[in-house]
Amino acid sequence: MRLTYLCSLMIISLMTINVSFAHTQLQSSQPSAGASLSQAPSSLQLTFTNPIQLIAVSLYSAQQEIEIDFSPQTNAQQALQIPLPNLAPSQYQVKWRGLGEDGHLMKGDFGFELK
Ligand SMILES: [Cu+2]
């Protein structure tokens, strides 16, 4: 009986650990975070660790927000590709926000440079 109780406690704590590792994060991107490019990228690609329903994806140059073809998603996807307009040399910042499949609102940002 006591052993069963201990076992369930262990299982519960393992599950808790598992959940905290299951937060959806950005796994990789194109351009990648911190990239220094000599040619303008034709698209922005985001790949996440788990499917995520993206609510917002924004791109900023050093001067202004760049208009991109993104609308909030109606279902969760693990990867997203957005065509980009012609970008001028600048520092760029990408910001994303979305709802992970575990119900957690996640967000992140990264930068790249176009020389
Ligand atoms: Cu989470």
User: Given the DSSP bridges, would you call strands 105-114 and 36-37 parallel, antiparallel or unpaired?
Assistant: parallel
Query: At which residue do the structure tokens 């590709």 appear?
Result: 81
Number of domain units in the chain: 1
Question: Is position 86 within any domain?
Answer: yes
Taking the centre of ligand 1 as the mean of its atom positions, its distance from the CA of residue 91, in whole angstroms, is 30
In 1-115, alpha helices (H): 2-21
Distance 105 CA to ligand 1 centre (A): 7
Per-residue pLDDT tens over the stretch 16-66: 555 556 799 999 999 999 999 999 999 999 999 999 999 999 999 999 999
At 36, which CATH number?
Answer: 2.60.40.1220
The alpha carbon of 36 and the centre of ligand 1 are apart by a number of angstroms equal to 31
Q: Which residue has the tokens 């990408």?
A: 94
Q: State the pTM of this model.
A: 0.81
Q: Which residues have CB atoms below 5 A from the ion given as ligand 1?
A: 23, 102, 104
Asked if residue 8 is part of any domain, the answer here is no
Q: How far is the CA of 22 from the centre of ligand 1 (A)?
A: 6
Q: Is residue 12 part of a domain?
A: no
User: What are 59-84's pLDDT values in tens digits?
Assistant: 999 999 999 999 999 999 999 999 99
- Does residue 13 lie within any of the structural domains? no
Compare 21 and 105 and report the one with higher pLDDT: 105
The answer as to whether 55 is a domain residue is yes
Centre of ligand 1 to C-alpha 25, Å, is: 9
Give Cβ neighbours of residue 91 (< 8 Å, ≥ 6 apart). 61, 62, 111, 112, 113
Whole domain around residue 106: which residue ranges? 24-114
Per-residue pLDDT at 1: 57
Query: 19 in a domain, yes or no?
Result: no
